[in-house]
Structures are given as C-alpha cells and as structure tokens.
Amino acid sequence: MGKSSNPTFAGDKEFEKIHLKEKFSYGLGDVACNVVYALTTSLLIYFYTNVVGISAAMIGTIMLFSRFFDGISDVLIGHLVDRTHSKHGKSRAWILWMMIPYGIAAILLFTVPPATPIVKGIYVFITYNFCTTVVYTALNLPYATLATLMTRDTDQRAVVNLFRTGMSALGNMVITAITFPLVTRLGDTQQAWIEVSILYAIVSIIMLFICFKNCHERVKEETKTKDGKNVPLWMGIKLCVTNKYFIMFFMLAVFLSFYEAVTGTCNAYYAQYILGNRDLLGALASFESIPQIVTVLVLSPFIAKFGKRNVALIGAIVAVIGTVSLFINPSALNLALFACVMRGIGKGCFRGVKYSMLADVIEYGAWKSGIRVQGLMVSATTAGQKFGSGMTSAIFGALMSLVGFAGTATINAAQSQMLIAIYIIGNIIAWGGIGVLLIFYKLDKIYPRIITEMKQREAAEAAKATANA
C-alpha cells in the first residue's frame, strides 16, 4: 500500500510551506524535552539505586503509582490545552509558561537528601511527580500538539516530525553518552549529578524559548460543538475511544514506551554487569541513536513511496531480528552493538512516522465527528506511554528484587540471567506487538479523501454562514 498524493489548496494558510528555521526550532523543543525523558528512562533509576542507595523495589513501586497519577494529569492537561485561547495561541503559550519550571523540576530530581530510606522515598515520590506528572506533562503535551496546529499538509507534517524525531534522537544520544563521563569528571558524587542537571536545565530552557519564538500555529480551531460551546471532557473521551485508529495508535505508543523503558532501564545495568564496563553505556546509546538518526534523515522518499504504515512495519521487523540475535551470546559486545544498530534502524522507521501518524489520526477523528480534540488525543496517547513505562519500571524492580539485586558492584548468576531475560524478551514483546498492530492500520490509503472532504465541508459551511449573515 503506497502513499497517495497529498491534496493541495492554493492560498490556504493551513497548507502553506513551513521554512527550515521553523522546522529546526520545532526539533529543538524535543531536544529540550528529551533532557528529562532521557534522564528518567535511562539514568534516573541507576542514580537512585547506585548513587543514593534506594532499593530497586521501592523505586519501581514509586514509578508505578506515579504513572497512574501521570496518566490522569495527561488527560486533564490535554483537555486544558484544547480549551486554551491566548494571545500566544493554544500550544505555544504552554511552552512559554512551563520552560522555567521544567528546568527547576529537572534539578530537583537529583537533590535527594541524605536521610532514612523512607524519607528518601517520600522525597523521590514528590519531586518525581512534580517533574513528570505536573511540569513535564504541561510542557510536552502542548509541544506535541503544536505539530498538529502548524500545518494540515500530511507531507509537511511528516517532514516537521522527521526534524523532531531526528533531533530528539540526537539529544537523547548525547545526554545518555556524556552524562556518565561528565559525572565522573566532576567527582562521581551526588553533587556531580546535581551540577550536570543544572547545566542541562539551562540549555533546555534556551532551546524551549527558541521553539516558542519561531514556531507558528496555522490550523483553525475545531474544538467546539455545533452550538459554539467548548467540548466537555466526557465528549472528548468518547471521541477518542470511538476512533478506531486512535485506539490502534494508543496501543502502538504503549508498546513503544515499553520498549524504550526496557532498554532505557536495562542499558546502564547491562553495560556494567553483563558487558563488564559501565562506560559502554555511551557506546550502546550511540550505536542505537546514530542509525536511528541516519534512518530518519533518509526516510522521507521511502515514506512518499511506501507510506507511513509500511515503513514502520519494516522497522519493527528489523528491530525484532536484531534483538533475537542476542540469544547467540548475550555478553558478546559485537552482538550487543549489532542489536543496537538494528533496533536503531527500526526505531528510526517507526518514530520517523509516529507523530505524523498521530496527526492523521486526529484528522480522521475530525472528519468523522466534525470536532478536533488534538490536545486530548495527544494526552491520552502520552498517558498510555507513561503507563507502559511505569509498568515496565515496576516489573523491572520487582523481578530484580526477586533475585536479590541491591545495586552492588557485582551480581550473581541468577541476577545476571534475569537481567538478560528482561532485556531480550522485553524487546521482542515490544516490537512484535508494534508489528502486529501495524498490519491492521489502513489510514494511509484513505487520508487524501478525508482531507478533500473536510475542506469541501468547511467551504460549504463558510458559504452557508455568509448567506445567513
């Protein structure tokens, strides 16, 4: 199933060309968001267990419960975004409001006081939820929604989101690769982690301001009912759950977050305990992120020829093949790096189309109902991602505690085998689930007709309003 040509509407601001500066600025926004995302998925659990001495079981439990609160906040923030009407627009305003609290919240993650385990646990619960449940949600959801408001042209959306995906992967790779060396250079203490987080926070705030300043919202709002009232929350939820492609995309997002949580949580431990060198975390991150970035950079013509769904499906197959290869010898560095490369290609294929797929799903919902609830759909998707991530962290903590893991310098054979099983089987489940769901995704084929019919409907409504004036 190839991609049909995108309909064009001359002179329509919603379809005007987006310039390179704006695309790049939008990508910078996700680089900034990835500071907290990379830290919380790849390094924070390691920091809590190996630096400040909190048990893996306690951290897993905190993150599991936090993700439930996070899911609720996603839906509420998404609903607020849909109801936002400010001089800065709908999504851009939230980026402006949240960028400084975001930097502060990221630093607070690492200022765990020297206290009893219970006090440490309470501090982690409060600061982790302040950062991820409140501030990160109130920043990242509007940021993700912004892409759906920048254009209705599916080709331009794809390119905008390729910038987001490629730059996001680069930022994630850099954060993961340089954090341990920076921490080591600054003394390898908790204070070193705090100093690194301050540096990251300052850079992130600058990038978020550039994103706010240079990006524009062009798509007209359709977030009201026919009688002109704001869409109530219950109706927005109904519009989400009755959109079959949204349900598919929601599950795709859950599986992707499951994968990212498995690799993000396990990589630091895998490098230290299975490969025998903690500093190999940077190599694992680079060998996955660089192929992902390269894949994203060359993806555009393949999307045009084969369609978003087919590109993502091929990526899932490649990722499964790479992960299965680890069964040959899980402790072999060359196989671990090969698996990272294959997963990077797969992730690049899927993440390269993920956000433009979501924008298409939002348009499909607007076509079916006449109402666009982009904020709620984006928030519900991220709620699913966070639930998947939280469940993964909790399961990881429970399984590792089951075999007696306590964040020590060495581990025994049972702990080693458990870590390997989580790392390999978890990745196979994640990418296998993505592949199965994509088989049933057919929206690429009907999208051009959807846009044409929507523009015709809008023109008819405008003509009717003019006649009645």
- pLDDT of 68: 77
d(CA 414, CA 420): 10
303 three-class SS: helix
- CA dist 222 → 362, 366, 456 (Å): 11, 8, 15
Assign 406 a pLDDT band (cuts: 50, 70, 90): confident
Q: Is the pLDDT of residue 168 over 50?
A: yes
230 three-class SS: strand
Q: Is the pLDDT of residue 4 over 70?
A: no
d(CA 184, CA 109): 19
**What pLDDT, in 10s, does the model give residues 230-279?**
677 778 888 888 999 999 999 999 999 899 888 888 888 899 999 988 88
* Higher pLDDT pick, 134 / 236: 134
d(CA 235, CA 377): 12
Q: What is the mean pLDDT of residues 192-203?
A: 94
Kindly report whether the global pTM for this prediction surpasses the value 0.75.
no
Assign 5 a pLDDT band (cuts: 50, 70, 90): very low
Q: What is the mean pLDDT of residues 388-405?
A: 81
Q: Is the pLDDT of residue 223 over 60?
A: no
- pLDDT of 409: 63
- pLDDT of 438: 97
**What pLDDT, in 10s, does the model give residues 32-80?**
998 877 777 678 888 998 899 998 888 888 887 887 787 788 878 887 8
- pLDDT of 105: 95
Phi and psi of 455, rounded to 5°? Answer: -65, -40
DSSP per position, 397-460: HHHHHHTT--S-S---HHHHHHHHHHHHHHHHHHHHHHHHHHHT--HHHHHHHHHHHHHHHHHH
* Higher pLDDT pick, 3 / 258: 258
DSSP summary character for residue 3: P
- Per the CATH hierarchy, to which homologous superfamily does domain 17-468 belong? MFS general substrate transporter like domains (1.20.1250.20)
Q: Is the pLDDT of residue 229 over 60?
A: no
- Would you list the domain boundaries of the chain? 17-468
d(CA 146, CA 152): 12
- pLDDT of 12: 65
Q: Where are the alpha helices (DSSP H) in 215-280?
A: 233-241, 244-269
- pLDDT of 361: 92
Helix, strand, coil proportions of the chain in percent (round to 5)?
80, 0, 20
Burial class (CB in 10 A: 0-12, 13-18, 19+), 388: buried
Residue 86's DSSP bridge partners are 89
Report the chain's mean pLDDT, rounded to a whole number: 87
